[in-house]
A = this chain, B = another copy of it.
Amino acid sequence: MSRPSSEHLFLRACRREPVERTPIWMMRQAGRYLPAYRAVRSRASFLDLCRTPELACEVTLQPIDEFGFDAAILFSDILITLPPMGLDVAFPESGPKILTPIRTREAIDALVVPDPVDALPYSLEAIRLIQKGLNGRVPLIGFAGAPLTMLTYAVEGGGSKDYPQTKKLLYGDPQAAHALLDKLARTCASFLEAQVEAGADAVQIFDSWGGIVSPGDFREYPLRYAKQVIAQLRASPTFAKRNVPIIYFVNGCAPYLDDYASSGADVLGVDWRVGIDEVRRRVGDGVALQGNLDPGALFASPAEIRVRVADILERAGKTGHIFNLGHGVLPETNPEHVRAMVTAVKELSAHS
């Protein structure tokens, strides 16, 4: 098995090294918008896909073969760590549900910080299979949910509009919130370490709901525990030896730009609601940026998609930029429009 060298385009961009063009991958690139994915999914439940290494490998490789993305990302779900912590999760079509959401300090104290080698062997085996399948073509990104985002699911029991249980816990019982976030941070970090030991070339920490708080609370909760995760990873010999890039993605990052770079990540994910040039001005030159096309912009015509891609490439500049959507691709997206985006990024960034 050969691994992509540290010289691969995507990894060089993560480290702000010179690149011949801007690399691109897409959050949720292995997903429902893709007919080949839906074909696999018609034979297996979502959870079966996550827990069967051969199937996870198959759908992870599909968008690489189909569109030529510059990085693969493990097919899994951020909630995959909750069952081994002690929470029952179901994945109906209407969205994930935690059947026993956390409402007491006792429930927090009862949670386990699992050993991922024992608890999540299927994800680690999927990584080994994917690396065989990729055979060095592109790097593989591992991932996990950030502590604050995992807390929202654990206490709300699913998605939420206003996050009342989250805020009751954070502001009504901060001590208990910190105890829960610490367990979630240790779980997140040890799962990411295990993924890199299994062969992942980079990792992304998804703070999908890190953007629901005030700037002061951002420092106190999501950012503080993302830093804890990143510090644990930096202390890991595996990360240091292979110089594994860490991507931190906060959906809705615009209010926190003065603090965002202090996370310690190599790459900051940028959602679509903010200008990536504005982000660059505010976070400085010490990190790479990843983003930031509106997933909904893929409903535009291929010509309009090309105009929007050009605009982002110009705002981002060529060094330290990984092109991506600002959040996961929407299931209703036409795959040919994804192809138009990939083509535009590859052509326009090579000539700029």
Q: Which residues of chain A have a CB within 8 Å of any CB of chain B?
A: 159, 161-164, 166-168, 170-172, 211-217, 252, 254-255, 272-275, 278, 294-297, 299-301, 304, 311, 327, 330, 332
Contact = CB atoms under 8 A, between A and B. Distances in A.
Contacts of A159: 161
Given A255-B274, A273-B213, A299 B171 contact: yes
Contact of A296 (B171, B254, B297): B171
A255 B273 CA distance: 6
A299 B213 CA distance: 13
B167 A299 contact: yes
B171 A274 contact: no
Contacts of A255: 254, 273-275, 278
Interface centre among A162, A214, A300 (most CB of B within 10 A): A214
Given A161-B159, A254-B254, A215 B296 contact: no
Given A167-B296, A170-B296, A213-B272, 20 more contacts: A159-B161, A162-B327, A164-B296, A164-B299, A164-B330, A166-B296, A167-B297, A167-B299, A168-B299, A171-B294, A171-B300, A171-B304, A172-B301, A213-B273, A214-B275, A214-B297, A215-B274, A215-B275, A252-B252, A255-B275
B275 A332 contact: no
Contacts of A275: 214-215, 255
Given A162-B295, A172-B300, A296-B162, A214 B167 contact: no
A170 B300 CA distance: 8
Given A171-B297, A296-B166, A299-B168, A211 B273 contact: yes
Q: How many of these chains are in the complex?
A: 2
A28 to B, nearest CB: 11
Nearest to A258: B278
Contacts of A216: 311
A299 B162 CA distance: 13
Q: 10 closest pairs, A vs B, by CB?
A: A167-B296, A171-B300, A254-B255, A254-B254, A255-B274, A172-B299, A168-B299, A255-B273, A171-B299, A164-B332
A43 to B, nearest CB: 26
A117 to B, nearest CB: 34
A138 to B, nearest CB: 27
A273 B252 contact: yes
Contacts of A330: 162, 164, 167
Contacts of A301: 172
A276 to B, nearest CB: 10
Nearest to A171: B300
Contacts of A170: 296
A149 to B, nearest CB: 15
A254 B166 CA distance: 22
A172 B302 CA distance: 10
A211 B159 CA distance: 19
A311 B215 CA distance: 12
